[in-house]
Structure 1
Amino acid sequence: MTERHEVVNLAAKLAGFEDHWSPKIVAAFNGHDVMVVKVEGEFTWHEHAETDDFFLVLKGRLVIDLPEGAAVTLEPGEVFVVPRGVQHRPRAEEETHLLLIEPAGTPNTGDPATAAPKDRI
């Protein structure tokens, strides 16, 4: 059996694309995708019935709107987990870079019909 050791440089991966709201898979572990994504503007309100939604801000500022007018603001280095089944809408006034972790194949909108494809980079 061959062991494979690979260091992933997140800044280099983020420098390799410009599109927003299109997660890029940079690693995988235990059936989960580790992704980077650039976001700006508002995403759609959505929920994930089967899984929590993990957000780590690498650069910029992310606001996650929650039900009943609640919102969480994340700065670089901060993590927030939206529990499964909770409606939420991420938004960013300036380009923001995120690290996302979720079970492989999870659609970013919660609905496979409207989800962005996830490329491996």
Structure 2
Amino acid sequence: MNLIGNLIWLLFGGIIAAIIWFLAGLLLCLTFIGIPFGLQCFKISMFVLWPFGKEIELGHFGAGGLIFNIIWLVVFGWEFAIAHLVIGAIFCITIIGIPFGLQHFKFAKLGLIPFGAKIL
């Protein structure tokens, strides 16, 4: 079931979402200060590419991760989270779209707190 869900996901926007996260990572890696944030975008883009069958475990960060998560949240994390929440709500309007909407809700969590998050 995960394979079918992932293939349908790729056809109906998964590739576009992964490319957007990847491009955000490239833009952030243009500066030395943005490299840690860009690396998180690359991690998220790989997760967005093939999300079914994977879960997110939040909260494994130290003091540095907490500081980076706060900076991420204030600067651009909330935009990513709101975008995924809106897209997820739109998908959840139909019964067929509910599994895809739930995936976007997972991305919203990861978009808020990427540092220290484990993708299982």
- The TM-score with structure 1 as length reference comes to 0.29
Relative to its length, the structure with more strand (as a share) is 1
Structure with bigger helix share is 2
